[in-house]
Structure 1
Amino acid sequence: MKTAPRHHPPHRPRRRRTTRATAAGLVGALVTTVTATALTTAAATVPTASAAAAQPGDVVLAETFDDGELPAGWNPVLGDWTVRDGRLVGDAPDGSAPARITFGEPVENYRLDATLRFEDVDNASRWAGAILDVAPDGAVPWWQSILRSTTTAGNGVEIAQRTAANGWNVPYTGSAATDAATGRDVQLSVEVQGADVTSSIDGTPVLEGRIDRTDDGVLGFVLAGATVSIDDVTVTEIEPASWVGDDGELPVTVAHRGYSSVAPENTLAAYASAMRTGAEYVEIDVHTTADGVPVVSHDQTVDRTTDGTGDVALLPSSYLTGLDAGSWFSPAFAAEPLPTFADMLDLMDTGASTMLLEIKGPETSAEVERVVDMIVDAGLEDRVVLQSFDVDALRAAREHAPQIPRGLLRGTLDADPVATAKDLGAVMYNPSANALATRPSVIGDLNAAGIAVMPYTVDSAADWARLTEAGVDGIITNRAGAFIGWKEAQGQVVGPAPAPEPTVAVVSPAEGAEVERGGSVVLAASATDADDVTLTLDGETVENGAVVPAADLALGEHTVVATATGEGGEATAERTVVVTVTAEGLRSRIAAQDVSALQLVLLLGAVDHERWSTLELFVERYVDDEATVERLVEEIDHLAGR
């Protein structure tokens, strides 16, 4: 069963979808409505353009049911479907499976308009509406946009899926301003652009969502526990969606390395969490292993995010897929694997988010082609955008599979971003937020050329507001859920918005980390919406990013506290780190002492045989520096359990 992101309340400001209607598309739809109205006065069944050859603005189907019988090509699947008094009438008694009828040809970008009237309902929870993508024989699964007679209820309108298991997945619900009631005509309009859906009732948008699409899916009507009549059905081809958002829309959410603030980055858990939270895009990174298998990892090495070590390009996939990629983040994610790209493609097919896939350079043309072929073989070309800092990788992808859209990543702005993006055929230009701040006027230049702008990596509400005001099309963030919540709040704020509360996290050391006495402790914190961040180690202030030799710290537990202060208040976070000693570490420190060869043999022999009392005696006798003797004796006592 496929699932989709959780719904967002319908009263929020209209968010930018992964792809959006253009002005030309809206004009086309308007022209279509006028054209269809004129045509219906002349004939019940209107000759239309073939869906395969239709252009935006073309009517691909128009039906008024004036002939008194079911039109050719309309296929009743379940329930009683007849034509009476110039209307299509469907009846499905309460308790039965949803009655449905299919019609039309596959159309990728369309607007379905129909007049719908509840003639009778078994109870107030019964419903009817349009099927948006279904097999011609009406078999499960399908997606639908429906309304209840009590349309003002919290679930008065829905975008939902009837699953392959004949169950329900209802990710999007909302309400309308007035009830459809019974005996009253309502105008149902559903605009579908690729996977994006907007449902309107009586000319007012009431709900948005994303659905799964199939290559041969047609349209239909569906109802349950009601008798419903339908008239003036028009299907119009509309413009393919644009990557650039409309004025006033909020930026789409791009979950950076998955929902990486709540799950370990670039893992299946992070990707699934991002889809569940409702992110329109999920960004991940791909490298190729020594044996040619694309795997999902940001760094060139696996040292930072796994329990392994080494360069991805020099390691076999069998080694990499056996690594623990979750414990570094939290014990709750212990044994979370480093995923292959194939694993991620399988997972993304269970949701509706678009993948923003960064190809890490340098990759060979053959390696880029392998990644592209996997996307094509999975049938997911319309749900992936390839991006890279490496222009050669983008050119290789364009040459091999031009149908997959591409984005250009930039750490600094090009002299002419529009020309650079056009040269690569890029639909997105995604710079660092800091670089974009130096010349925000390029957003308008790029948008005017049909190129979207999605800066990275932006985690504070203040920056979200600044970039939204500047007109970016999307925001790449580690805090996908928080950003979605921030967008929700924009429609609810009355008067000046309160200053956001700061957040802070200790990013190093990891909680409960043990550091050998010969190593060092890196002390670092990250914060959002903060004017100042301070770090203390055992109560003493240290600089953010400081590297403290463990030899300067006592053995045992130490406390790191980070404090962030800002206009919205103060936040703190705490971590502990344990300085310990191992026999191997002690041996290396003794081996570095300035002693004779015979003395060194005696010292190391005592370590190897764990003769701690003898070792302590030798250290006090052979090592000259008193501070060193004191530290080594402390370590010996620790190993001896004294």
Structure 2
Amino acid sequence: MPRSPHRLTAGALAALLGASTLGLGLAAPTAQAAPGDVVISENFDDGQVPAGWRAVSGPWSVVDGRLVVSGGQISRMTFGENLTNYRLDADVRFEQVANATRWAGVLVDAPADGAVPWWQAVMRTTSTAANGIEIAQRTPSNGWNVPFTASAPTDAGVGRDVAVSIEVRGTQVRWFFDGAPVLEGRVQRTADGVQGLVADGSTVSFDNVVVTEIEPATLNQGDGELPAIAAHRGYSAVNPENTLAALVAGARAGAAWVETDVHTSADGVPVIMHDDTVDRTTPGSGRASGLTGPALTGLDAGSWFDAAFAAQRVPTLDEALEVTARSTSDLLLEIKGPETPAEVARTLDAVRAAGMADRTLVQSFDEAVLRAARAHDPSIRLGLLRGQLDADPVAVSRDLGVVAYNPSFGALRNRPSLVGELNAAGVAVFAWTADAATDWAWLTDAGVDGIITNRPGALGGWLTAREQAPAPAPAPAPTVTVVAPADGSTVERGERFAVAASTTDATDVTVTLDGAAVTSGSIEASALTLGRHTVTATASGAGGTATASSTFEVVVTAEGLRGRLIAADVSLGQLQQMLTAVQKEDWGRLRNAVVRHVADAATRARLLEEIDALAG
């Protein structure tokens, strides 16, 4: 859509400052959008606030073809519908600001009535400041949670449009400033949150607001991207595994995924438990599948780890889904086999009922579980767990229809090239379970898409340090110089001369003489024609290439010619006649003698060339 060149006149701005708050109804629900569909497109050229846009707070109106709000504290306009994956584009302009700390931008996920809590992606006029760009939450208690800040390439300033683009894929948010990516973060999503615009303590105008449905996030990380963090059984290094406390802690540590395990009880209740039996992590005894739901959920699942966690009980899947849905993490859910198709279906139905189908990857070691899951809910994403690698993991992945092949770290070490093979087939790789920095480095260098770890907080810090580490210094550019023959020098045709080049920071050097490759060392000038010749040296290295050349001249002297006459196949008397002509510089007589007495045509032609050169 073309950018509208609207600017507010002084009179329009004065009228705007006295505008009253609009009260508008919500839009009727629209049909489900598909990737690529433009859901909203507004340029305000008709002079009206669009139907269904709700001014929650602040004086909003359309002036000179732009939607404008002035002054006030946290003015908000909501619109649109609940979308899981979308891009919101808008031209945003600060017209007046109270001070440089004021901000404006986009509501990413907000109640239609504008109540707390909501998430926003905003900028300040001084957007090059360390916190000039933000992804922040207005909390349920009307406070601020600002977990993500960055700086923009330039200041937004006052009186100029900034092309703001916000991409939302599930809980993932990417912030673009005039087309440049400036910030990424994760936000909590709600089942009914909509989009909106927001401004604080400023007069701000908006134009060309477009909301487009986009493709969901893929599991595959792009080239050079760091792996996603998956908190193994929650943050199990500092919490009892597979408890609600561990799941919440994993999300709060910034893990993109929390991983947990589900069994089905004897009476059909999906519960969170890793082992087949409850003996290790609870005071109970027996197989999880042999106990009822109430019996399982009544068990203390925290005291074995520390008395401080005595209140933690074995959670149901529904409870785990509820706390994860309220977090910024997605769910990596392992179904422990064997499970009947009905039990698998019950687990998947619970995931979908919790609104977590788009935020869950179901994985299992049991291929029968994965086939049952595919049959029951073909849209659910699946991952195959492996302790040892298959002979052809790509073929197995295609056969099972999985989007992730998740091997043990130990198995992957024996075949790191597998990551590239699976990624090329569109299959992600999440390796388990790695807790040491040396292992994280190896997996990151191998290009895995995710690392499953008991220490998500530590891994997050390690990845941040790696991302912020200074880029390696560029390799120095090579240099090269032709040291022999010297530029402008002369070489007598009968002599040998050296060819040599000097280089720095080079891994390969080629030398040519008149375009033909030669090796450094001694070369016979007798094979060259009289006149100018060029030696060229090219050096290449990690820092690029460099070229240098030297031009020299092959000449003939009377002394040199005398030596070549002596070497010619002529009689002694004929040779004496020719040497006398050289001594007297009688070049005409010498020429006639060479023509008469030198039988070899090549030798004769070369001698005649040299005689003509001396004759001038």
TM-score by length of 2: 0.68
Q: Which residue of 1 aligns with 2:223?
A: 247
Q: CA deviation at 1:127?
A: 1.4
Give a deviation string over 1:460-501, Cα, whole Å, max 9, x none: 11121111111110011111111111100113334889xxxx
Preserved contact between residue 326 and residue 337 of structure 1 (Cα < 8 Å): yes
Q: CA deviation at 1:62?
A: 3.1
Matches of 2:83 and 2:313, distance apart in 1: 39
1:268 corresponds to which letter in structure 2? L
Gaps spanning 5+ residues in structure 1: where?
Answer: 1-35, 42-49, 498-642
Q: CA deviation at 1:163?
A: 4.3
Structure 2 counterparts to residues 116-265 of structure 1, below 5 A:
116-163=92-139, 166-265=142-241
2:321 corresponds to which letter in structure 1? L
Give a deviation string over 1:357-413, Cα, whole Å, max 9, x none: 111111122221221121122121112111100111112222222222111101111
Q: Is 2:384 the partner of 1:408?
A: yes
Q: Is 2:351 the partner of 1:375?
A: yes
2:273 corresponds to which letter in structure 1? S
* Structure with the greater alpha carbon radius of gyration: 2
Q: Is 2:62 the partner of 1:83?
A: yes
Matches of 1:232 and 1:495, distance apart in 2: 38
Preserved contact between residue 171 and residue 329 of structure 2 (Cα < 8 Å): no
Query: Which secondary structure does the structure 2 equivalent of 1:37 belong to?
Result: coil
Preserved contact between residue 170 and residue 359 of structure 2 (Cα < 8 Å): no
Q: Which residue of 2 aligns with 1:65?
A: 44
Give a deviation string over 1:106-141, Cα, whole Å, max 9, x none: 443322222211122223322111112334444444
Q: CA deviation at 1:327?
A: 2.5
Matches of 1:210 and 1:343, distance apart in 2: 22
Matches of 1:199 and 1:256, distance apart in 2: 29
Are residues 57 and 349 of structure 1, via their aligned partners in 2, closer, same or farther at CA, if it must alter by over 3 Å? closer
Preserved contact between residue 242 and residue 450 of structure 1 (Cα < 8 Å): no
Query: Which secondary structure does the structure 2 equivalent of 1:261 belong to?
Result: coil
Matches of 1:236 and 1:285, distance apart in 2: 36
Preserved contact between residue 323 and residue 335 of structure 1 (Cα < 8 Å): no
Q: Which residue of 1 aligns with 2:515?
A: none
Q: CA deviation at 1:234?
A: 2.7
Matches of 2:110 and 2:315, distance apart in 1: 32
Give a deviation string over 1:330-352, Cα, whole Å, max 9, x none: 33323432222222122212212
Matches of 1:60 and 1:376, distance apart in 2: 24
1:80 corresponds to which letter in structure 2? P
Q: Is 2:308 the partner of 1:332?
A: yes
Preserved contact between residue 300 and residue 310 of structure 2 (Cα < 8 Å): yes
Matches of 1:437 and 1:373, distance apart in 2: 36
Matches of 1:291 and 1:60, distance apart in 2: 45
Matches of 2:110 and 2:468, distance apart in 1: 37
Q: CA deviation at 1:416?
A: 1.9
Preserved contact between residue 77 and residue 100 of structure 1 (Cα < 8 Å): yes
Query: Which secondary structure does the structure 2 equivalent of 1:452 belong to?
Result: coil
Preserved contact between residue 79 and residue 92 of structure 1 (Cα < 8 Å): yes
Matches of 2:133 and 2:468, distance apart in 1: 21
Matches of 1:158 and 1:303, distance apart in 2: 47
Identity fraction in percent: 60
Query: Which secondary structure does the structure 2 equivalent of 1:209 belong to?
Result: strand
2:65 corresponds to which letter in structure 1? G
Gaps spanning 5+ residues in structure 2: where?
Answer: 6-28, 474-616
Q: Is 2:246 the partner of 1:270?
A: yes
Q: Which residue of 1 aligns with 2:430?
A: 454
Q: CA deviation at 1:252?
A: 0.0
1:400 corresponds to which letter in structure 2? H
Q: Which residue of 1 aligns with 2:602?
A: none
1:468 corresponds to which letter in structure 2? T
**279-288 vs 411-420, greater mean Cα deviation:** 411-420
Structure 2 counterparts to residues 19-98 of structure 1, below 5 A:
36-37=1-2, 52=31, 56-93=35-72, 96=73, 98=74
Preserved contact between residue 105 and residue 218 of structure 1 (Cα < 8 Å): yes
Q: CA deviation at 1:246?
A: 0.6
Q: CA deviation at 1:166?
A: 4.6
Q: Which residue of 2 aligns with 1:589?
A: none
Matches of 1:102 and 1:301, distance apart in 2: 50
Q: CA deviation at 1:429?
A: 0.7
CA RMSD of aligned residues (A): 2.5
Q: CA deviation at 1:432?
A: 0.8
Preserved contact between residue 51 and residue 106 of structure 1 (Cα < 8 Å): no
Q: CA deviation at 1:239?
A: 2.8
TM-score by length of 1: 0.66
Q: Which residue of 2 aligns with 1:391?
A: 367
Are residues 156 and 389 of structure 1, via their aligned partners in 2, closer, same or farther at CA, if it must alter by over 3 Å? same
Preserved contact between residue 99 and residue 224 of structure 1 (Cα < 8 Å): yes
Higher RCO (CA 8 Å, separation ≥ 6 residues): 1
Matches of 1:312 and 1:326, distance apart in 2: 17
Q: Which residue of 1 aligns with 2:592?
A: none
Matches of 2:30 and 2:462, distance apart in 1: 40
Q: 1:353 aligns with which of 315, 329, 354?
A: 329
Query: Which secondary structure does the structure 1 equivalent of 2:225 belong to?
Result: coil
Preserved contact between residue 146 and residue 158 of structure 1 (Cα < 8 Å): yes
Q: CA deviation at 1:247?
A: 0.4
Q: Which residue of 2 aligns with 1:474?
A: 450
Matches of 1:496 and 1:217, distance apart in 2: 43
Preserved contact between residue 324 and residue 338 of structure 1 (Cα < 8 Å): yes
Q: Which residue of 1 aligns with 2:255?
A: 279
